């Protein structure tokens, strides 16, 4: 599994343009991408990071962390996912970084998603769907999410980099990810939902092989 993640992350280097600013996601797969970037000093100008965790790793590897407001739009965003369907729609946010990830994905021309093949599914939803919420809205949002047929569970003790909380929605079978993303986005108190469907990945690399999207 770890080797599969590493192979995918290293393959993503093919998409990096010399001297560019690269958007960098969060998690155990992207960690390998950061390692690979660190072995090529001078390849990129710097990175826009999706989390405090990735910012720390980038700095440890000698890569400058830059501000999206100054650098965007970006040519490339590289990130992992918790699940990926055949349309390249994703569930993300297992590491609670979904909101900043979504912002960088939206501000990037190409989103390359790196994962191990076990995360490829026919229908999204086996992995509980993360929803970042404003803390005072937690119970309200949970009641609204019940209407979609899933069971929201508070990820107690987790505070996002934005100071918010996470609800994980269990038991969904997401046959129309675009519609569900839009509906959840409309609940007052939701900051972001970890469904990446309106803006799916452009390229998917699984176990080091480009399985969807063009090079
Ligand atoms: O919030 C975390 C991110 O969405 C990650 O990209 C996702 O959870 C996948 O992480 P990992 O590569 O550790 O499986």
Rounded to whole angstroms, the Cα distance separating 83 from 201 reads 12
Q: How far is the CA of 205 from the centre of ligand 1 (A)?
A: 14
Q: Against a cut of 0.90, is the pTM above it?
A: yes
- Active site (catalytic) residues: 101
CA atoms within 13 A on the CB side of 208: 8
Q: ∠ CA(183), CA(74), CA(95), 5° rounding?
A: 50
Q: Which string of DSSP letters, residue by residue, matches 158-207?
A: ---TTS-EEEEEES--BS-HHHHHHHHHTSTTEEEESEE-SS--SEEEET
Distance from C-alpha of 39 to C-alpha of 16, rounded to nearest angstrom: 14
For the question of an ipTM over 0.85, the answer is yes
Q: What is the CA(128)–ligand 1 centre distance, in A? A: 13
For residue 131, give the nearest of 122, 140, 142 by alpha carbon: 142
SS3 129: strand
- Ligand 1 site, residue 93, Cβ cutoff 6 A: yes
> Which pLDDT does position 115 carry in this prediction?
97
Q: What is the pLDDT of residue 114?
A: 98
Per-residue confidence (pLDDT) for residue 72, from 0 to 100: 87
CA 109 to chain centre: 15
Is the Cβ–Cβ distance between 84 and 90 less than 8 Å?
yes
Binding site membership of 130 for ligand 1 (Cβ less than 6 Å): no
**Contact in structure between 196 and 89 (CB atoms under 8 Å):** yes
CA 31-34-36 angle, 5° bins? 110
Per-residue pLDDT, 141? 98
Q: Is residue 24 helix, strand or coil?
A: strand
Which residues participate in the annotated binding site for substrate? 26-29, 79-82, 92-95, 119
Q: Which atom of ligand 1 is nearest to the CA of 79?
A: 6
Distance from residue 168's CA to the centre of ligand 1 (Å): 14
The SS3 call for residue 34 is: helix
- Our mutation pick for probing the ligand 1 site, out of 12, 34, 94, 98, counting the most ligand atoms within 8 A of Cβ, is 94
Residue nearest atom 8 of ligand 1, based on CA coordinates? 94
Q: Are 124 and 83 in contact (CB under 8 A)?
A: yes
Whether residue 206 contacts residue 120, with contact meaning beta carbons closer than 8 Å, is answered with yes
Written as tens digits, the pLDDT of the chain (215 aa) is 899 999 999 999 999 999 999 999 999 999 999 999 999 999 999 999 999 999 999 999 999 999 999 998 999 999 999 999 999 999 999 999 999 999 999 999 999 999 999 999 999 999 999 999 999 999 999 999 999 999 999 999 999 999 999 999 999 999 999 999 999 999 999 999 999 999 999 999 999 999 987 54
Confidence (pLDDT) at 214: 59
User: What pLDDT sits at residue 1?
Assistant: 85
Question: Which residue has its alpha carbon closest to ligand 1 atom 9?
Answer: 81
pLDDT (0 to 100) of residue 213: 78
Concatenated DSSP letters of 51-118: SHHHHHHHHHTTPPEE-HHHHPSEEEEEE--SEE-TT--EE--TTS-HHHHHHHHHTEEEEEEEE-GG
Domains and CATH numbers, the chain: 2-120+198-212 (3.40.50.1360), 129-194 (3.30.70.260)
């Amino acid at each position: 599994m770890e080797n599969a993640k590493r192979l995918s992350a290293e393959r993503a280097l093919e998409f990096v343009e010399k001297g560019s600013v690269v958007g960098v996601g969060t998690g155990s797969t992207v960690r390998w991408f950061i390692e690979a970037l660190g072995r090529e000093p001078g390849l990129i100008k710097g990175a826009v990071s999706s989390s405090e965790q990735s910012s720390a790793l980038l700095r440890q590897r000698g890569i400058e962390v830059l501000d999206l407001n100054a650098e965007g739009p970006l040519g490339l965003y590289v990130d992992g996912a918790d699940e990926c369907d055949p349309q390249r729609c994703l569930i993300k946010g297992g590491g609670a970084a979904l909101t900043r990830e979504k912002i960088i994905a939206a501000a990037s021309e190409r989103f390359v998603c790196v994962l191990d093949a076990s995360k490829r599914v026919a229908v999204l939803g086996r992995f509980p769907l993360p929803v970042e919420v404003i803390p005072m809205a937690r119970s309200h949002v949970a009641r609204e999410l019940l209407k979609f047929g899933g069971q929201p569970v508070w990820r107690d003790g987790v505070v996002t980099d934005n100071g918010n909380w996470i609800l994980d929605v269990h038991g969904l079978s997401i046959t129309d990810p675009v519609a569900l993303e839009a509906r959840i986005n409309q609940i007052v108190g939701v900051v972001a939902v970890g469904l990446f469907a309106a803006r799916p990945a452009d390229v998917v690399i699984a176990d080091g092989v480009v399985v969807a999207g063009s090079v």
